[in-house]
Amino acid sequence: MSGRALVKSSQLVILVLLMLGVAGCSIPERGPGVPQADTERALPLGLANARFYADGDPQAMLEEGIRSIEREQAVLRAAGRSTTRLPPVAFLAVSGGGDNGAFGAGLLNGWTRTGTRPEFKMVTGVSTGALIAPFAFLGRDYDPALREVYTSMTPEKVYRARGLRAALFDDAMADTGPLAEIISLYADQKMLDAVAREYQMGRLLMIGTTDLDAQRPVIWNMGAIAASGHPGALELFRKILRASAAIPGAFQPVLIDVEIDGKKYQEMHVDGGAIAQLFLYPPSIDSATVGVHRQRIAYIIRNARLDPDYAVSERRTLSIAGRAITTMLTTSGRNDVLRTYFVTQRDKVDYNLAYVGSDFTAPKSGEFDQSFMRALYDYGERQAARPGTRRHRASKRHDDGRSR
């Protein structure tokens, strides 16, 4: 989630509320919402393992992890390799950050060129990180496409602005039809089939959204959806990516069809960053219960800075409100980084962090400024190529409680 985009949207909403009275205008319709008592029973595409509530019972997600290990072991046995001592695994978590996703895209491309980028056992993504995640999951063959997306981006390729009255009488300030077209271009049947194949090999691709009706974080099991063979799998795959990047108020929410006892309902999903800007796995999961001992390495890409972004606040209502929202989002993002760090330390997972440093000073003229994004992409690419980059110093930085 981009703080500036959400602030701008919030300011426009406040402005319109001050200027206009609420008139009897029609609002966009939606299907019936899931009854509160049945939230856990709602099944997209009828798939029991299509998604998990991150704040719910961790057993279902834990069982999915165990099944992924069993599939991995089957692949190893077929190759004549031992399954007694499993090889080390790497996890990747990619955060939100709007157009700052260019940093993560550059980092991954640069990492490939160093020859040290691993194949990730699991990739997770939120918001812009959700758009990056499938490319990162599928590896170096998808690097050129990832680079193209984040270096050719413009506002026109992401959204079409609506009028001010949309703040009151529509579902967002902007129409994200252009973003949906980009998602459809890259998240095609070929990508879906590739994700399905990797899922059968024991790898996991997880995307975070926010169920706005239930006010709950949702983790989508994209590999299971891709491997389901359901005729609606590709459409749902695309909807989830779009939903994870749907900044509330700024971009349209995404309605996802579910079914309970033969009855159809709709859930409203928005940016996963509304609850958490990044995740590895829910803290409620105790990895020790899996009974598998192997080296585990976590790589976290924070598509934002960690140090405060100083600016003198004007003594105006909208300026103060906007600055406060930015501060809340920044603090929330830092807390997500810390939460992930503490969980990995508890579970004895090696932790590595990459983020946008204070040495990146390229100017930015607005959201999805192509020149800014290209500069940030190049910065991320250089960071990956440097020996002793920030991601290798992360544990000491957290232990010290200081940002460097």
Q: What per-residue confidence (pLDDT) applies to 387?
A: 64
**Strand-strand pairing, 216-221 and 204-211:** antiparallel
Q: 121: closest CA among 340, 295, 288, 273?
A: 295
What's the mean pLDDT in 277-284?
95
Residue 143 has pLDDT above 90, yes or no: yes
Q: Is 32 exposed, middle or buried (0-12, 13-18, 19+ CB in 10 A)?
A: exposed
Residue 394 has pLDDT above 60, yes or no: no
Residue 250 has pLDDT above 90, yes or no: no
Q: What per-residue confidence (pLDDT) applies to 396?
A: 44
Tens digits of per-residue pLDDT, 88-99? Answer: 999 999 999 999
What's the mean pLDDT in 339-364?
95
Q: What per-residue confidence (pLDDT) applies to 392?
A: 43
CA distance to 206, 258, 393, per residue, from 54 (Å): 11, 18, 29
Q: How far apart are CA 80 and CA 65, in angstroms?
A: 23
Q: What per-residue confidence (pLDDT) applies to 400?
A: 41
SS (H, E, C) the chain: CCHHHHHHHHHHHHHHHHHCCCCCCCCCCCCCCCCHHHHHHCEHHHCCCCEEECCCCCHHHHHHHHHHHHHHHHHHHHCCCCCCCCCCEEEEEECCCHHHHHHHHHHHHHHHHHCCCCCEEEEEEECHHHHHHHHHHHCHHHHHHHHHHHHCCCHHHCCEECCCCHHHHCCCCEECHHHHHHHHHHCCHHHHHHHHHHHHCCCEEEEEEEECCCCEEEEEEHHHHHHCCCCCHHHHHHHHHHHHCCCCCCECCEEEEEEECCEEEEEEEEEHHHCCCCCCCCCCCCHHHHCCCCCEEEEEEEEEECCCCCCCCCCCHHHHHHHHHHHHHHHHHHHHHHHHHHHHHHCCCEEEEEEECCCCCCCCCCCCCHHHHHHHHHHHHHHHHCCCCHHHCHHHHHHHCCCC
Per the listing, tokens 């409100």 go with: 321
CATH number for the 3-10+49-78+88-400 domain, one of 2.40.30.70, 3.40.1090.10, 3.40.50.2300, 3.10.180.10?
3.40.1090.10
- Supply angle C-alpha 55, 119, 377, rounded to 5: 85
Tens digits of per-residue pLDDT, 36-61? Answer: 999 999 999 999 999 999 999 999 99
What's the mean pLDDT in 68-79?
96
Q: How far apart are CA 59 and CA 12, in angstroms?
A: 43
What's the mean pLDDT in 79-89?
92
Q: 175: closest CA among 79, 74, 231, 246?
A: 246
Q: Taking a C-beta distance cutoff of 8 angstroms, is the pair 246, 274 a contact?
A: no
Percent of the chain with pLDDT over 90: 74
User: pLDDT category, 270, cuts 50, 70, 90?
Assistant: very high
User: pLDDT category, 322, cuts 50, 70, 90?
Assistant: confident
What's the mean pLDDT in 62-69?
95
Token couple for 58: 């961790």
- Supply angle C-alpha 391, 96, 42, rounded to 5: 125
Q: What per-residue confidence (pLDDT) applies to 360?
A: 96
What's the mean pLDDT in 361-389?
91
Task: Give the length of the chain.
Answer: 404
Q: Taking a C-beta distance cutoff of 8 angstroms, is the pair 132, 379 a contact?
A: no
User: pLDDT category, 397, cuts 50, 70, 90?
Assistant: very low
Q: Taking a C-beta distance cutoff of 8 angstroms, is the pair 108, 118 a contact?
A: no
User: pLDDT category, 13, cuts 50, 70, 90?
Assistant: low
Q: How far apart are CA 355 and CA 309, in angstroms?
A: 14
Q: How many CB atoms lie within 10 A of CB 346?
A: 12
Distant-in-sequence, close-in-space partners of 315: CB < 8 Å, separation ≥ 6:
none
Better pLDDT: 15 or 148: 148
Q: Taking a C-beta distance cutoff of 8 angstroms, is the pair 216, 231 a contact?
A: no
User: pLDDT category, 393, cuts 50, 70, 90?
Assistant: very low
Token couple for 400: 């010290």
Residue 391 has pLDDT above 60, yes or no: no
Residue 404 has pLDDT above 50, yes or no: no
Token couple for 345: 């330390």
Q: Taking a C-beta distance cutoff of 8 angstroms, is the pair 132, 108 a contact?
A: yes
Would you say the C-alpha torsion 120, 122, 125, 130 has a positive or negative sign? Answer: positive
Tens digits of per-residue pLDDT, 224-239? Answer: 999 999 999 999 999 9
